[in-house]
Amino acid sequence: MAEIRPGADEGKILAAMQGAVFENGGEYPANDFIIGSGADALLCRHKAGRRKLDASDQITLEFAGTCRHYHAALMRTVVVGEPGTRHLELYAAAREALEAVEAVMRPGNVFGDVFDAHAAAMDAHGLMQHRLNACGYSLGARFAPSWMDWPMFYRGNKAEIRPNMTLFAHMILADSATGTAMTLGRTYLTTEGDPEPLSKLSLDLPVVR
C-alpha cells in the first residue's frame, strides 16, 4: 500500500509486493501476482505491460503469502483519489457478499452453498451481470502454473466443507458499462464453527488520496 499513489509505476508496486514475501521468508508463488489499474483493474488476470497510476484511478491486486509452497491469497481493489459513487456501491455489495459467504463456510454445508450466498447477496444489489459464476477455491501446497486447488465454489457443487480446509473466497465485480472494478477476498481456515481469517488486513475499502 505504501507504494500506491498518483504517478506510481505498477512495476514498483509489484516489486514491493513480491519483495515483502521474500523478505519474510516466503517463496515464489505458484501463480503470477495479478496487478491491473485503470481499465485493466476489471481484468483480474495477469497481463503483460505496466502503466503509471493517474490522480484518480483504481488498481486491483491479487497476491499470496507463500511458505514452503503453501499459499494464503488476498484480493483487493484500491481506489486512488476520491472513490466514486459506483465504487462505493460495488464495495458495499462485495462486503455484504463476503460476510454472507463467511456465515456458511462451515461444516454441514457444501461448496455450492458458499457460491449461492455470494450470488444472492450480489443479485440483491442488481449486480448479477457484473459478478462471476465462481467465487473462490481451495488452497494448499501448490506449484506453477496455479495455486488453485479443488474443490471450488460454484453453483451446485456438492463437495462438503470440513474442518481444517484452507479456502480462498473472492468477491469480484466488474462493471464494464462504467469502467468500475471492485474486489474483496481473503483466505480462511475452516473450523468446527466460524472460519478463521488468515490475514490481519482490514476489509475496509482501501483509498489512497
Please tell me what DSSP assigns to residue 83.
P
Distance of CA 180 to the CA centre of its chain: 16
Strand ranges in the chain using DSSP code E only, listed in sequence order: 34-37, 57-67, 70-80, 136-138, 149-152, 166-175, 180-189, 196-197, 207-208
Tens-binned pLDDT, residue by residue, of the chain (209 aa):
899 999 999 999 999 999 999 999 999 999 999 999 999 999 999 889 999 999 999 999 999 999 999 999 999 999 999 999 999 999 999 999 999 999 999 999 999 999 999 999 999 999 999 999 999 999 999 999 999 999 999 999 999 999 999 999 999 999 999 999 999 999 999 999 999 999 999 999 999 99
Give start and end residues of each alpha helix (H) in the chain: 10-23, 85-104, 111-123
- For the domain made up of 10-208, give the CATH fold: Creatine Amidinohydrolase (3.90.230)
Closest CA to 149 of 136, 163, 135: 136
CA 108 – CA 165 distance, rounded (Å) = 13
CA 52 – CA 134 distance, rounded (Å) = 31
Ranges of each domain in the chain:
10-208
The H or E element that residue 38 is part of is none
pLDDT at position 142: 94
pLDDT at position 143: 94
pLDDT tens figures, 53-81: 999 999 999 999 999 999 999 999 999 99
pLDDT tens figures, 109-140: 999 999 999 999 999 999 999 999 999 999 99
